[in-house]
A and B are shown apart, each in its own frame.
Chain A
């Protein structure tokens, strides 16, 4: 034992030396860890936001150049001109969010509780569409829903669709495209929430006189609220600003606000209006999200 003592002795000393260090270091470590994220947000979020805000208050033309004139009327002009597209966007996004919820909840529930050994396979199938580009998948739907496609002729054959009825270039096609594209964003957070629920809670509820429906309403549903909120936000927010689905599956006459912003920026080169519309969209979505989260009670998300 005595021969072992000397090499062992320095170790506690090293610990003693390090004792006071973490005290000073500990205070800085969180900030240090935050630094890359903060820097990223500053460069790629704060700066563009300020630039966009400034753009929305400028006047001028591409030829003469733009000057900051604090013209707030751009906002009211934009809203009065494109109010229709605005409402349509919220309506389409809301409808497709509701549809992803109706399709996604049972799916997530089945994967979490009933899939057994097929659980991982089903999860992969939910994620699989991401292996292909968003654009290509939406284009594929354009072909599937085309006027001489099998879906339309099948629906015409069973008289669910009139002789001249069509799917492509209808609001239904746009909503269907949005629903399709955002379904995984609903399913995955819901699954994550549901999967965490202890199966014994279901047994406990049954033991306490709750039948299957009551168990779902009183136990499963409240416990899946975090996933429900995350899923609806991940679906609604991008869907409200989406312009791909309406471009491929809809018509120019029924465009969404995303399409307007895109064309104002890239085609018409009316930067102030595009920037103002972006801000209006952002503010609207933000207010809706806050109200929604307050209402559902998932305050830990805010």
Chain B
């Protein structure tokens, strides 16, 4: 790759975007480190696409600043930004051949050796020999790769991907996820990826920002977000969670004891002050449902109301004495003792697998150090 541009950090500073009375992005501050694969994750309408479009220059922020390295690009026209986009459903030029589509950006900038660069880029996305065709003659997955090639060939400082895999079927999506990650590692360009698919974000991104109502709820590595969600929204958007409302009883060393309907549960870390309300969560696959000994510090008892076998795991639904239902996923290792509907069981898990959930306002948006994955 002829990398004329050195990648730079993207800084989104206190950016707000309003459409009439609707606030799509609300005082957003984010830093995307150079060279990272960054995902903006959230449901439709959370402001992730608007954020991306403001970085691309296709929307102008109502307020705030967008910096690329040292350069203020907030009001820069899109065609003057060292940023390229892979559009949702690709937006390939239907009247141009694949070669001309991919060469479009280079020709606009009057670059030399366009043909050899296009050839190399088509090779990178494994589409050599398709140059003469028109976009309509390619499959969805191939069009997706043309869209990627058309953006990447310009060696942008920043590549934006707007739901790039949304139009593909599940199997193709999986292989494209791996493909995209491979290409990103190969070219070393910063990727900012917008998606509503948590699995897609977790598979590819180094860092995920979970967005909700125009704000970032939590920022972190996929493992961190999954193991330690800090809000109920994040806990439920990334995978499933069982949540318990309780009251802090005391702190014993580095462990917080919480009373949940008369049951004493523990979680690692000192959270809240004694007497304060707190919400706890645990992932269904971290808990076991057993009639025998479990030897774990956290346990609630209840009755199994549903058992469903999914092949990979067995999913139990257990009703607790106070009416709440919790799920437990038991991996199908073959060594499991199956419990049956109607049996009284203990649902048990370890304190270190327990997470505390706060309201989004109390959560700091400091980017945690991204652990090497």
Q: Which residues of A contact B (CB under 8 A)?
A: 198, 200-201, 203-211, 214, 218-219, 222-223
Complex Cα–Cα for A204 and B83 (A): 12
Q: Return the contact of B150 from the options A198, A208, A210 (Cβ within 8 A).
A: A208
Which 3 A-B pairs rank lowest in CB-CB distance, beginning with the nearest?
Answer: A208-B105, A209-B108, A200-B91
Cross-interface CB contact of A206 among B58, B89, B95, B109, cutoff 8 Å: B58
Q: B231-277: which residues lie under 8 A (CB-CB) from chain A?
A: none
Complex interface: chain A residues within 8 A of B93 (CB): 201, 204-205, 219
B87 near A209 with CB under 8 A, answer no
Bound together, the chains give a CA A294 to CA B87 distance in angstroms of 34
Which of A205, A206, A208, A219 has the most chain B CB within a 10 Å cutoff? A208
Task: Let me know if B16 is at the binding interface, CB within 8 A.
Answer: no
Interfacial chain A residues near B83, Cβ < 8 Å: 207
B87, B91, B94 pick with most chain A CB within 10 angstroms:
B91
Among A198, A203, A207, A222, find the residue whose CB has the most chain B CB atoms closer than 10 A.
A207
B294 contacts partner chain A, Cβ-Cβ < 8 Å: no
Q: Kindly report which residue of chain B lies nearest to residue A219, judged by CB atoms.
A: B93
Besides the known contacts A200-B91, A208-B84, A219-B93, 9 further A-B residue pairs in the complex with CB atoms under 8 A apart: A200-B88, A203-B78, A206-B79, A207-B56, A207-B78, A207-B87, A208-B151, A209-B79, A209-B154
**Residue in B57, B88, B89, B104 whose CB lies within 8 Å of A208:** B104
Chain B residues closer than 8 Å to A211, beta-carbon distance: 77, 79
A206 touches B77 (CB 8 A): yes
A223→B94 contact, CB < 8 A: yes
Q: Across the interface, do B95 and A207 meet the contact criterion of CB distance under 8 Å? A: no
Taking CB atoms, residues of chain B closer than 8 Å to A200 are 87-89, 91
User: Which residues of chain B come closer than 8 Å to A223, judged between CB atoms?
Assistant: 94-95
Pull 24 A–B residue pairs with CB atoms less than 8 Å apart, ordered by A. A200-B88, A201-B93, A203-B91, A204-B85, A204-B87, A204-B92, A205-B93, A206-B58, A206-B78, A206-B79, A207-B56, A207-B57, A207-B58, A207-B83, A207-B84, A208-B104, A208-B150, A208-B154, A209-B79, A209-B105, A209-B109, A209-B154, A210-B79, A222-B95
Residues of B within 8 A of A210 (CB): 79, 104, 108
Assembly CA distance A138 to B92 (angstroms): 46
A-B contact count (CB 8 A): 62
Count chain A CB atoms within 10 A of each CB in B58, B85, B104 and give the residue with the most. Answer: B104
Q: How many residues of B are counted as interface, with CB atoms below 8 angstroms from the partner's CB atoms? A: 25
Q: How far is the CB of A195 from chain B (nearest CB, A)?
A: 15
With a CB–CB cut-off of 8 A, which chain B residues contact A201? 91, 93-94
Please, how many angstroms separate the alpha-carbon atoms of A137 and B94 in the complex?
Answer: 41
Question: Separation in Å of the B158 CB from the closest CB of chain A?
Answer: 12
The answer to whether B108 touches A207, judged by C-beta atoms less than 8 angstroms apart, is no
Bound CA span A81–B284, Å: 96
Cα separation A210 to B109 with both chains bound (whole Å):
9
Give the residues from 55 to 70 in chain B that come closer than 8 angstroms, CB to CB, to chain A: 56-58
* Inter-chain contacts of B91 with A (CB < 8 A): 198, 200-201, 203-204
With the chains together, A107 CA to B10 CA distance in Å? 41
Distance A218 CA – B109 CA, assembled complex (angstroms): 14
A207 to B85 CA separation, bound complex (whole angstroms): 7
Q: How far is the CA of A286 from the CA of B367 in the complex (A)?
A: 70
Query: A208–B103 Cα gap in the complex (Å)?
Result: 10
Choice from B58, B151, B154 contacting A203 with Cβ under 8 Å: B58
Q: Nearest chain A CB to B205's CB is how many angstroms away?
A: 22
State the Cβ distance, B112 to closest chain A Cβ, in Å.
Answer: 15
A194 to B: closest C-beta gap in Å: 14
Q: Which residues of A contact B87 (CB under 8 A)?
A: 200, 203-204, 207
Q: How far is the CA of A211 from the CA of B78 in the complex (A)?
A: 9
Q: How far is the CB of B268 from chain A (nearest CB, A)?
A: 46
What's the Cα separation between A218 and B92 when bound, in Å? Answer: 13
The interface bits of chain B over 31-57 (1 if a CB of A lies within 8 angstroms of the residue's CB, else 0) are 000000000000000000000000011
State A205–B85 Cα separation when bound (angstroms): 10
- The chain A residue sitting closest to B53, CB to CB, is A203
Most A CB within 10 A of own CB, among B83, B87, B154: B87
Residues of A within 8 A of B57 (CB): 206-207
User: Which of B56, B89, B105 gathers the greatest number of chain A CB atoms within 10 Å?
Assistant: B105
